[in-house]
Amino acid sequence: MGAKSNAFELAFLKLVFRNENIANVGDATGLRGSSSAGNLYAGLYTADPGEAGDQTTNEAAYTSYARVAISRATGSWNVTGNGLENASAISFPACTGGSATVMFVGIGTDSSGAGTLLYKAPLGTNLGPFVGEADDDLITIKGHGLSVSDRVVFFAPTGSSLPTGVAEGTVYFVKTAPSADTITISATDGGATINLTADGDGWAFKVVPLAVSNGITPEIAAGSLDVFED
C-alpha cells in the first residue's frame, strides 16, 4: 500500500488532536471521535525520544517537572497547511531544582509513566525539505536562514532516505553556511565536517534549545509546535 493522501493525513490529525470525526471511513457513521474527548499530554525532552520511544524516553527530569494536559478540542489546535499547531501557549511547572536543556516536545496519552508517545517534534523552526550530496558534503535547504553554530536536525519522511552519515533525530551543528541555500554540518560545535558518503533527502528543522534552571518556567509559545504528517 502506498502513502496516505494529504486530505486523510490532515483528517487523522484532527481526529487525534481535536476529536473530529472522519466522515465515511470505517462503519456507516465513519471513523468517529470519542463521546468523551479527554486530554493528551505534552512533555519536554532533552533529545529525540525516537520512533520506538515511549513518553519517558529522554524526558526532562528537573525538580517540579510534570507533563501538561491539552484538551482534545478544536480550540486547542489550529489547522495549518499540512497539519496542526498549538493554538495557545503550553506552560510547564516552574523549575525548583536541577536543570535541563530541552530540544524536543512530545505529545502522548498519559499524564505520567511510560504512556504511548503519539507525536514528537523539535523545538524550533520547520525549514522544509533538504537534499544532501555526497560529492561535496553540502546540504541544500532553500532559504535556510541558518548561521554557523546553529543546531539542526533531520528526518526521513515516507519515500525519503537520509544521506549516509546523517542519523535521524540527532542534533547537529552548522559548520559552514556557504550560501543562502547550503550548509555543512558537524557533530559538535566547530568540529569536523560530517562526511556524506551517499546522497539523500528528507525534512530539516532548526533546533532552538530551551535552557531550564531554577526559577525558569518553560513555555512553548502559541503556534510554535508544528504537528504534521510526513
pLDDT (tens digit per residue) in 157-174: 878 899 999 999 999 999
- HSE (side-chain half, CA atoms, 13 Å) at 54: 9
pLDDT (tens digit per residue) in 183-227: 999 999 999 999 999 999 999 999 999 999 999 999 999 998 888
- Domain 125-207 superfamily per CATH: Ubiquitin-activating enzyme E1, FCCH domain (2.40.30.180)
The percent of the chain in helix, strand and coil, each rounded to the nearest 5, is: 5, 40, 55
Report d(CA 54, CA 195) in Å as an integer.
31
Q: Mean pLDDT over residues 134-144, rounded?
A: 97
Q: Give which of 104, 15, 9 is closest to 53, Cα–Cα.
A: 104
pLDDT at 1 over 50: no
Domain ranges of the chain: 6-122+210-228, 125-207
pLDDT at 28 over 80: no
CA 55, 58, 64, 67 torsion-angle sign: negative
pLDDT (tens digit per residue) in 37-80: 889 999 999 999 998 999 999 999 999 999 999 999 999 999 88
Question: Average per-residue pLDDT in the chain?
Answer: 92
Confidence tier at 3 by pLDDT (50, 70, 90): low
Report d(CA 129, CA 204) in Å as an integer.
6
